[in-house]
Amino acid sequence: MIKSAKDIGIGIIGVGIMGRGHALYLSDYVKGGKVVAIYDANQQTAQKVAKEVFKKTKLLPKVYDDLSTLLEDQNVKAVIIASPDHLHANHLEQAILAGKDVLCEKPLASKEKDARKVAKVVRNSKSIVGIGFMRRFDRPYQDLKREIQSDKYGKVLQIRCTSRNVSSPTATTSMLLTNVAVHEIDIIRWLLNEEIVSVGVNFAKTTSRANSNLSDPISVNCHTESGVLATIDICANSTYGYEVGMEVITENGSLVIENLGQLNIAYNFKLPTRKGGTLHKDWMGRFKPAYIAELTAFVNSLQKRKLDKNFATVEDGLAASIACGIGVKKL
């Protein structure tokens, strides 16, 4: 997509799988915003992604070799943070102090104390800050929320989630909470408008593919304020494909999001028609429409100077980090 001089300049911090994805989706699909700067600890990676952006937009983003110089660039009005989890809080704080608006990838922080500290900085600023819990922009989860709120199916009693990654060579058991289950924890809070009050972990027999710091698979179990039980079954080395699913069991029905991105409702003795299909190798394929919707909502938020209502706020990010922290303490 060719960009115009009026488009809002966005800098990307960290252009691995996710940051590159944001840079390319922003370049291809999102009107009103353009990638003008990139910083990654790996300069080669940064240069490569800058060239890819140029191919799409005819605009070559500036590549910086440190974060503070990117943040001094007056053409950078907002940043997307897609660096590793443990750096988010620090990068977000620096971006806020430089007066930038921010789309910060999940999690807000890997540690509760960092999440609390940066949330305070955000609260005391005028910046627009959204957290990258993109499932809130995914159509099936939006359909599911609408159906739950319709009251047609009665109260929600239990939620069963599955989360599978093809392989996770550097994952640790605590990352299965702070990096993986954090998505489900956020979406459960959003679906039910309730806080998570307890988090526990059950261990399974560990796959031979797990590294020595990882117990895989695990089952995370949580209770919400009103007593809904949510289980999140995570397998980080599934080998067979990337899969994310959810069943919401209510008094009168079963509402299921299948991996292919569709909501199926079993209700009143009627079964949904289930489609076949292929598994994605990772999240970029399954959630592509959600990432594009999220980026579009971010640029709209910058134009209107008001965070889009679908975005997770810094308070949501903090709540998810606190809940994950409860689980990590149980390990």
Q: Is 132 in the site for ligand NAD (CB under 6 A)?
A: yes
* Angstrom distance (rounded) from CA 227 to CA 229: 6
Q: Does 140 bind ligand NAD (CB under 6 A)?
A: no
The residues in 283-302 that bind ligand NAD, with binding defined as CB under 6 A, are 283, 287
Tell me the window of 34-42, 204-212, 238-246, 271-279 that interacts with ligand NAD (CB under 6 A): 34-42
Cis peptide before 84 (omega within 30 of 0): no
Q: Which two tokens stand for residue 173?
A: 């058991």
Pattern 195-234, binding to ligand NAD, x per CB under 6 A? ----------------------------------------
If one asks whether residue 42 binds ligand NAD (CB under 6 A), the answer comes out as yes
Q: Which stretch binds ligand NAD (CB under 6 A): 53-61, 76-84, 117-125, 221-229?
A: 76-84
Rounded CA-CA distance 264/252 in Å is 14
Q: Does 136 bind ligand NAD (CB under 6 A)?
A: no
**Helix (H) / strand (E) containing 185:** helix 182-192
- Two tokens, residue 279: 């598994």
Shorter beta-carbon distance to ligand NAD: residue 174 or 179: 179
Which span sits near ligand NAD by CB under 6 A: 37-45, 144-152, 269-277, 315-323? 37-45
Show Cβ contacts of residue 114 under 8 Å, excluding neighbours closer than 6 positions.
Answer: 89, 90
| Three-state DSSP state, 214 | coil
CA distances from residue 283 to 32, 34, 190, 215 in whole angstroms, order as listed? 25, 23, 20, 22
Q: Name the residue nearer to ligand NAD (CB basis): 153 or 291.
A: 291
Candidates 232, 299, 315, 264; CA nearest to 4 is 299
Residue ranges in contact with ligand NAD by CB under 6 A:
13-19, 39-42, 45, 82-85, 87, 105-106, 132, 134, 179, 283, 287
